[in-house]
Structure 1
Amino acid sequence: MHIEPRQLLLLLTWMSPAFPTGAFAYSHGLEWAIESGKIKDGEALKAWIEDLLTRGSGWNDAVLFARCWEDSPSELNELALALAVSRERHLETTQLGRAFRIAAGVFAAPPLDDDEIAYPVAAGAACAAMGISRADALLAFLQGFSAALVSVAVRLVPIGQTAGLETLRDLAPVITAVATRAAIAGLEDLGAITIAADIAAMRHETQHSRVFRS
């Protein structure tokens, strides 16, 4: 399906790191993983993000995002909030979701007005409402998720800008494959087994010195 220029520009704007959602303030638990020594280089970072994308929170968010083209956003939102495994994960997704809804309202009326809205549902519902194709939107959404985590590692490890770009390059086929799977997935395909990442998100809550909110 060909994406119209207006829709492409909107998608690029909404999924840009510069879009004012405050995503730079959250590490998705990655800060604790770096502090504890689990992630020391680009190779470890790539493996961590790949696990999240293929069998963790990234996968669940991709499925919920994709279902916004067919299912009720309100029902999806309840499920998305229930899937947040820690207090900080809940804070992260709801704060990003709220900020996205407010900022996206500049371009179009938001399709969902729940008090608490999970980010993948806020973004997916907005893209669907504007007629952006699910395939294109999924790629942009997962690229944004991955790029945000790489940015955390570039600042904290630090792995350097070149290693960060190499990580994104190596994740490109993973992102493509996950987007393809998520586009045809149902809610019965939700599920995560990234226990180490979930523990990292929980332990970050009591991390003594930290830069990020999650």
Structure 2
Amino acid sequence: MITDLLRLTQWLSPAFPLSGYAYSHGLEAAMAEGRVRDAETCRAWTETVLRRGTGALDAWAIRRVLAGDDPEEVADVIRARAGCAERWTETRDMGAAFEAAATAMGEPERGTHPLPVALALRARGMEAETVAALYLQSLAAQIVSAATRFLPLGQTEAQAVLRDLHPVIAEIAALDALEPPVGGALLAELDAMAHETLQPRIFRT
């Protein structure tokens, strides 16, 4: 239904009060080191996170919860796979903010979960690939938006980066695996760890 799609896009809008603007997913550390410095390196870093890091894991989590798996067990996998304290803090706090905002709008309470699990619990009945794709688009936009506040990366260039990631997002959203993805985005996880002691800093993560 079109109303389901409207609800989903509202939840994933930058205007929804998740404080997503405060998180860089560890990108700030990579930018501070100079490894991410322009549109191309930003696209490559973000694609790695989508394909082998948080993006792939969160898309799996969304699909499993929508398929009826126990959300607590899925949340445990996300917690166990968080590479450092900041990574877990980011998904936990954004999930709590999502739940608080949705409940305040009159939605039934669902409990506090990591963001992808919280989203999937509210999106039950919606088409899984669509939910995963729009979530991944939101994650990519959050990362690229962080880059625009640190780098000489204009809004038009940033939008071109997001457009170039559409095929990647579509590919990952279409995956329907029973088991969580193997491997990981090692360098991005190391960036997230390095960010925990980075000073000065703009972002929480």
- Per the shorter chain, which TM-score range? over 0.9
Alignment equivalent of 1:90, drawn from 67, 88, 91: 88
Question: What fraction of aligned residue pairs are identical, expressed as a percent?
Answer: 38
Q: Does 1:203 align with 2:194?
A: yes
Q: Deviations over 1:146-205 (max 9, x none)?
A: 000010011111311111011011001111111011xx1112x42233111011000000
| Inter-partner Cα distance in structure 2 for 1:135 and 1:54 | 15
Unaligned ranges ≥5, structure 2: none
1:53-92 equivalent positions in 2, closer than 5 A: 53-69=50-66, 70-92=68-90
Residue aligning to 1:46: 43
Residue aligning to 1:108: 107
1:184-195 equivalent positions in 2, closer than 5 A: 184-187=176-179, 189-195=180-186
Q: Letter of the aligned partner of 1:133 in structure 2? A: E
1:82-161 equivalent positions in 2, closer than 5 A: 82-105=80-103, 106-111=105-110, 113-114=111-112, 117-128=113-124, 131-161=125-155
| Inter-partner Cα distance in structure 2 for 1:25 and 1:192 | 27
- 1:60 and 1:192 in contact (8 A); partners too: no
TM-score by length of 1: 0.91
- 1:65 and 1:120 in contact (8 A); partners too: yes
1:107 to 1:191, Cα distance in 2 relative to 1, 3 A: farther
- 1:110 and 1:126 in contact (8 A); partners too: no
| Inter-partner Cα distance in structure 1 for 2:83 and 2:109 | 26
| Inter-partner Cα distance in structure 2 for 1:8 and 1:206 | 40
Q: Letter of the aligned partner of 2:108 in structure 1? A: A
Q: Letter of the aligned partner of 1:127 in structure 2? A: A
Q: Deviations over 1:50-108 (max 9, x none)?
A: 11111112111111111111201111112211111111111101100100111122242
Q: Letter of the aligned partner of 1:14 in structure 2? A: W
Alignment equivalent of 1:24, drawn from 21, 25, 34: 21
| Inter-partner Cα distance in structure 2 for 1:203 and 1:20 | 27
Residue aligning to 1:10: 7
Equivalent pairs counted in the alignment come to: 203
| Inter-partner Cα distance in structure 1 for 2:106 and 2:116 | 18
Q: Compute the displacement of 1:110 (Å).
A: 3.3
- 1:84 and 1:90 in contact (8 A); partners too: yes
| Inter-partner Cα distance in structure 2 for 1:193 and 1:89 | 13
Unaligned ranges ≥5, structure 1: none
